[in-house]
Every structure is written in structure tokens, then in C-alpha cells.
């Protein structure tokens, strides 16, 4: 075949594309399990961070299995949903559903001092992309023990500050129930207060839209847990 012909060039390109595509597909498939394992480990790390446990990279899985003693999913009535793997629930998809249709993951942690904590996942939208996090509650089902927040593409030095302890540490000690009423924590501009009686934290300076996104995420993701947390509170008072 004439190597200078259009036919030869076309065949060469087709073969090159097929071979390259096959190589990339093989690589992707062969690495899929490892990529999933890394993603799972990172999720475990984030869950543990919400209860102030920060394991070394080679101890994430063992510490997760050590401290997270139980996990399950509940519905908006606070009832356990049988047959649901809480860790496998896609929170990003669940928040698009009506509250009554959601599968709500709960991670139960027992810290080194024996204290019981309930960890709830959150997912929302920032200025440039998804934001997410976890909030941990004391055994009373109301007092925040810790929080962890992350983002995909918020602006460094502005909205991206939600991932820093200076922001997340504000949540410790805040209450989700005030005068017996469930009130998700508000995120407001520094120096301001919410219109209601709910507890609040200061938003990040210069990251107004991201801060509002965190507030909306907390409201949207935690409200469906109200019945469940009411039952936790009732059990803790027995």
C-alpha cells in the first residue's frame, strides 16, 4: 500500500485510535478496584475527621473499623431502613429526592474515651461546584461535637476556607434543638445574627455565596434527620 495515500493515513489513524483506546480502557478497568479503595479510604478519613480523629494514611481503615462501631440508614420518620448499606448511599443523589424518599446514612462512633457520637453526612452546592461534609453529634442528639467540610473547586483564600479548622471548629457545642424545636445551625455574615433563635456560626470572609451554600446544605441535609434525632434524645434521657 502506498504510505503516502489518504487510504493508508486513514487506516493508520483508525488502528492508532483503536489500540490507544483499548490500552486506556484496560488501564482504567485494571485500576478500578484500587481507585475505589482509595475513594473509600478518603471517605473514611473524612468521617473520622468529624469526630476529631486524624489517623495516618496507613491506619485509616483500621481506625475506621475501630471507632465506627455501627452504620445504618434511616428514613425521615427516624425508622431504620433494612438492607441498605449506609456507606454505599450516594448522598449527592439522595438530596435530590423528597425527604420522605431519602435514605439517610448514620455512622455511630465510639471515641477513645468511650463517648458515643452520631455522624451525619451532608452534600450541597458552593459557588463553583459541590461542597460536602459531616457533622458529629453527642449522645444527646443535639450538641455538635465536631464538623468537617470539603469542596471541589471553591476559590482559595475565600470560599475554600470552609475546609479550614477556623470555620469548622465554630460548630462545636452548637445545638440542633432549642426549646424542644429542631433548628439547623445557621451560617451568617460575621457580626450578624439570624432572624430566628437557632444557633449560628460566622461565614467565611469574602466567601458569601459559599457560606450561604453551607447554610443551605446544613438545612437541607439535617432537617430529614429531625425525627431520628428526637428518638436519640429521648433514649439519652432515659
- Which residue range forms the structural domain that includes residue 94? 68-236
Stated pTM of the model:
0.85
Within a domain: 125: yes
Average pLDDT over the chain, rounded to whole?
91
Question: Cell triple for residue 214?
Answer: 453551607
**So what's the pLDDT on residue 8?**
65
Within a domain: 171: yes
Lowest mean pLDDT, pick from 106-115, 118-127, 172-181, 189-198: 189-198
pLDDT digits (tens, 9 = 90+) for 77-101: 999 999 999 999 999 999 999 999 9
Question: Cell triple for residue 102?
Answer: 431519602
Mean pLDDT computed over 12-18: 76
Within a domain: 50: no
Q: Based on the structure, what is the number of domains in the chain?
A: 1
Within a domain: 184: yes
**So what's the pLDDT on residue 1?**
55
pLDDT digits (tens, 9 = 90+) for 42-53: 999 999 999 999
More confident residue, 133 or 25: 133
Dump the DSSP string for the chain: --TTSHHHHHHHHHHHHHHHHHHHHHHHHHHHHHHHHHHHHHHHHHHHHTTT----GGGHHHHHHHHEEEEEEE-TTS-B-TT--GGG--HHHHTTS-GGG--EEEEEEE-TTS-EEEEEEEEEE-SSSEEEEEEEE-TTSSBEEEEEEEESSPPTTTGGGGGSHHHHGGGTT-BSEETTEE-PPEEE-TT---SSS--EEEPPTT-HHHHHHHHHHHHHHHGGGHHHHHHHHHHHT-
pLDDT digits (tens, 9 = 90+) for 157-204: 999 999 999 999 999 999 999 988 999 999 999 889 898 899 999 999
Rounded CA separation 144/120 (Å):
11
Within a domain: 17: no
Mean pLDDT computed over 218-237: 94
Within a domain: 216: yes
Instruction: Give the side-chain half-sphere CA count within 13 A for 161.
Output: 15
Within a domain: 149: yes
7 pLDDT above the threshold of 80: no
Question: Cell triple for residue 56?
Answer: 495516618
Within a domain: 31: no
Mean pLDDT computed over 199-215: 95
Rounded CA separation 222/91 (Å):
12
237 pLDDT above the threshold of 70: yes
Amino acid at each position: 500500500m502506498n504510505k503516502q495515500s489518504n487510504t493508508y493515513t486513514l487506516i493508520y489513524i483508525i488502528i492508532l485510535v483503536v489500540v490507544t483506546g483499548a490500552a486506556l480502557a484496560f488501564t482504567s478497568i485494571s485500576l478500578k478496584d484500587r481507585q475505589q479503595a482509595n475513594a473509600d479510604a478518603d471517605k473514611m478519613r473524612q468521617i473520622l475527621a468529624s469526630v476529631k480523629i486524624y489517623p495516618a494514611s496507613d491506619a485509616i481503615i483500621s481506625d475506621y473499623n475501630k471507632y465506627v462501631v455501627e452504620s445504618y440508614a434511616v428514613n425521615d420518620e427516624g425508622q431504620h431502613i433494612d438492607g441498605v448499606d449506609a456507606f454505599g448511599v450516594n448522598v449527592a443523589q439522595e438530596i435530590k429526592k423528597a425527604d420522605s424518599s431519602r435514605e439517610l446514612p448514620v455512622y455511630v462512633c465510639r471515641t477513645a474515651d468511650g463517648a458515643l457520637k452520631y455522624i451525619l453526612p451532608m452534600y450541597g452546592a458552593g459557588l463553583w461546584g459541590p461542597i460536602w461534609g459531616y457533622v458529629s453529634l453527642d449522645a444527646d442528639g443535639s450538641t455538635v461535637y465536631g464538623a468537617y467540610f470539603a469542596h471541589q473547586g471553591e476559590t482559595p483564600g475565600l470560599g475554600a476556607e470552609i475546609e479550614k479548622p477556623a470555620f469548622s471548629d465554630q460548630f462545636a457545642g452548637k445545638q440542633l434543638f432549642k426549646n424542644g424545636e429542631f433548628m439547623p445551625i445557621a451560617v451568617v455574615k460575621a457580626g450578624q445574627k439570624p432572624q430566628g433563635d437557632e444557633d449560628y456560626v460566622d461565614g467565611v470572609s469574602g466567601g458569601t455565596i459559599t457560606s450561604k451554600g453551607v447554610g443551605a446544605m446544613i438545612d437541607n441535609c439535617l432537617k430529614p434527620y429531625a425525627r431520628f434525632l428526637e428518638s436519640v434524645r429521648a433514649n439519652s434521657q432515659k
